[in-house]
Amino acid sequence: MFNLYQTLNKKEEGDSPRRRVSDVTGHDRFYQERPRSRRKRRPISRRTRSATEFDSDAMVTARSTNAFTRRNRSASIESTDDNDDGFQLTNKIDSLAKILFNRVSVAKANRDNEIKNGKNQYESLDQGASIRNDSGECMELEIRTRTRALVICEIYTQRTDRYSVIKQLALLGSRIDKNWFAVRDTLLKTDRILTMVPLNRFCPVIVTPSTREILNKLFLALQHPYVCPVFDSEFIDFESNKFIIMVQPINQGSLKDLIYGIEKNCWNADWGVKYASRGSGLVLHQIQRLGRQVLEALIFLRERGFPTVTHLHSGNVLIQNGVARITGLENSLFGFTSRVHSVITSKYVPKNSVDCVCFGHMLFEMCTGYELCSFQPSPIHMADLDKYPLVADLMKLIFNQPGYYPSIEELLIHDLFRNIDLREMRHAPATMFAPIVTPSIVGLLEGVKRHNSARSSYVNRELAY
């Protein structure tokens, strides 16, 4: 399959000279920028209303409101126009009034409903104080943890002099000990996202002075149109703990955001808030195209000797201009497990087939809009796939053959993904198919595989007993 892409690349190189792509860490050679339409929008003509068409009471209210805003106008960092300031302040006052009115109305409706139904609820003073104390302690602990993470991030940026902290982001994922920051790359004049997580005792990578250099060379060799690049990595010690820091591009939205209908400008909202309700799922052509791209990325990583991707889920697949890109590669290297790991490993699965089961769970969520909470779909779950017969057939191939799990290559040639066009692969450089892998990189990957295999064997023995 890759030979076909190599042939296409050679033909293009013969027709026109190809510009050399820089290998400097920090560049995303596969960044996809869609051309914008040059068609200008026609201005909308609006009829000016005469004074007789306005309500007299409304005019009096508008005059009093404008007088109030002129007296109490505050300075704005976005506009220096007096009329704009007054208009912004009026909108803020109206919004605040609506919020307060809605909260009072809801509280009054709940109280009236309880009185009507005779369900006045009471709680003991001790219980109420305990709940308030617990919430206060959790809030204080969260603030202390985030403050500590910000201090560590500032220590790292001061050491490198390449990045500067813009702001600390919300909890973008389910991992409570992971922190996200928006940073500025002063060398390339662009914004990046920096993640920081402490290393645990299951980390298979031995941290030495040369480990960082090996990791950066590894991530440079793993550049692919469907793999999110890692620009920089670093280990930092703080209070007898070791943290791993990764710098990656900012991609506004993940596959999970697309499934749950989250807007692009809300990509940095809190994880627990965004996915509180059920999503709507995707249409068939989206499922086929994005699923095929993820499978291509999994095959690429496996052919490069990368450990089996056990962290695959919709939150670890970023969407960049309609293209799916796997992220979170550090999870396989440093012994981290995903939130769905306990469900995936609740039954015995060969180590090299875990990515297949993870893909089946992700595919189910793409269709139904909710996560599969069991190892395999039940008849009730399969009923939600009635409008996707090809997906249902693939799910049976993955889960309904006891003791056998198909390979990623078998999933790739299934009718669901067979005839999908991969336009991003046409313009991939020839070096992508034969990257430079040093013996130190091979040694690091083999060490991770041995560690993961030993740990998987121990877990499987525990499940057998």
- Cβ-based burial of 271 (10 A; exposed 0-12, middle 13-18, buried ≥19): middle
**Residue 401 pLDDT greater than 90, yes or no:** no
Q: Provide the pLDDT for residue 295.
A: 96
Confidence of residue 44 (pLDDT cuts 50, 70, 90): very low
Instruction: Give 147 or 111, the one with higher predicted confidence.
Output: 147
Instruction: Give 119 or 408, the one with higher predicted confidence.
Output: 408
Q: Is residue 387 part of a domain?
A: yes
Q: Which domain holds residue 443?
A: 143-464
Mean pLDDT of the chain, nearest integer: 76
Dump pLDDT digits (tens) for 110-120. Answer: 444 444 444 44
Q: Is residue 350 part of a domain?
A: yes
Share of the chain above pLDDT 70, in %: 66
Phi, psi dihedral angles at 181 (to 5 degrees): -140, 145
| Cα atoms found within 13 Å of the Cα of residue 448, Cβ hemisphere only | 25
In the chain, the number of structural domains is: 1
Confidence of residue 31 (pLDDT cuts 50, 70, 90): low
| Distance, CA of 348 to CA of 462 (rounded, Å) | 10
Instruction: Give 465 or 190, the one with higher predicted confidence.
Output: 190
Q: Provide the pLDDT for residue 207.
A: 87
**Residue 464 pLDDT greater than 80, yes or no:** no
- Cβ-based burial of 260 (10 A; exposed 0-12, middle 13-18, buried ≥19): buried
**Residue 8 pLDDT greater than 60, yes or no:** no
Q: Provide the pLDDT for residue 390.
A: 95
Q: Provide the pLDDT for residue 213.
A: 92
DSSP-based three-state secondary structure for 397: helix
Answer yes or no: are the C-beta atoms of 363 and 276 closer than 8 Å. no
| Distance, CA of 294 to CA of 226 (rounded, Å) | 7
| Distance, CA of 180 to CA of 245 (rounded, Å) | 10
Average pLDDT over residues 288-295: 96
Q: Using alpha carbons, select from 320, 331, 328 the residue that is nearest to residue 199.
A: 331
Q: Provide the pLDDT for residue 165.
A: 93
**Residue 418 has what DSSP assignment?**
T
Q: Provide the pLDDT for residue 46.
A: 42
404: phi > 0 → left, psi -120 to 50 → alpha, else beta; which?
Answer: beta
Q: Provide the pLDDT for residue 433.
A: 63
Dump pLDDT digits (tens) for 371-384. Answer: 999 999 999 999 99
- The tokens describing 436, both together, are 């430079």
Contact residues for 298 (Cβ-Cβ < 8 A; gap 6+): 309, 312, 326, 355, 359, 408
* Angle between helix 389-399 and 354-368 (nearest 10): 150
Average pLDDT over residues 340-348: 87
Dump pLDDT digits (tens) for 74-101. Answer: 333 333 344 444 444 445 455 555 455 4
Q: Provide the pLDDT for residue 397.
A: 94
Q: Is residue 269 part of a domain?
A: yes
**Residue 57 pLDDT greater than 90, yes or no:** no
Average pLDDT over residues 104-128: 44
| Distance, CA of 89 to CA of 95 (rounded, Å) | 10
**Residue 227 has what DSSP assignment?**
B
**Residue 200 pLDDT greater than 90, yes or no:** no
Phi, psi dihedral angles at 227 (to 5 degrees): -125, 125
Q: Is residue 317 part of a domain?
A: yes
Out of 58-62, 294-298, 404-408, pick the least confident.
58-62
Q: State the amino acid at position 184 in one-letter form.
A: R
- The tokens describing 231, both together, are 């620009």
Confidence of residue 195 (pLDDT cuts 50, 70, 90): very high
Q: Is residue 124 part of a domain?
A: no
**Residue 52 has what DSSP assignment?**
G
Share of the chain above pLDDT 90, in %: 36
Strand extents, DSSP E, 210-358: 232-238, 241-249, 317-320, 323-326
Confidence of residue 50 (pLDDT cuts 50, 70, 90): very low
Answer yes or no: are the C-beta atoms of 184 and 160 closer than 8 Å. no
- Start-to-end CA distance of the chain, whole Å, equals 43
**Residue 455 pLDDT greater than 70, yes or no:** no
β-pair partners for 318: 254, 325
Q: Using alpha carbons, select from 302, 324, 306, 303 the residue that is nearest to residue 315.
A: 324
Confidence of residue 137 (pLDDT cuts 50, 70, 90): low
**Most confident of the ranges 33-37, 128-132, 352-356:** 352-356
| Distance, CA of 18 to CA of 426 (rounded, Å) | 13
**Residue 285 pLDDT greater than 80, yes or no:** yes
Confidence of residue 16 (pLDDT cuts 50, 70, 90): very low
Q: State the amino acid at position 410 in one-letter form.
A: E
Q: Is residue 108 part of a domain?
A: no
- The tokens describing 405, both together, are 């799990």
| Distance, CA of 51 to CA of 46 (rounded, Å) | 16
| Distance, CA of 431 to CA of 221 (rounded, Å) | 9
**Residue 465 pLDDT greater than 50, yes or no:** no
pTM of the model: 0.71
Q: Is residue 447 part of a domain?
A: yes
Q: Is residue 6 part of a domain?
A: no
Q: What share of residues in the chain are helix, strand, coil (percent, to 5)? A: 50, 10, 40
Average pLDDT over residues 406-430: 86
Dump pLDDT digits (tens) for 215-256. Answer: 999 999 898 999 999 999 999 998 888 999 999 998 878 999
Contact residues for 279 (Cβ-Cβ < 8 A; gap 6+): 259, 260, 261, 365, 369, 370
| Distance, CA of 396 to CA of 60 (rounded, Å) | 69
Q: What is the CATH number of the domain that holds 453?
A: 1.10.510.10
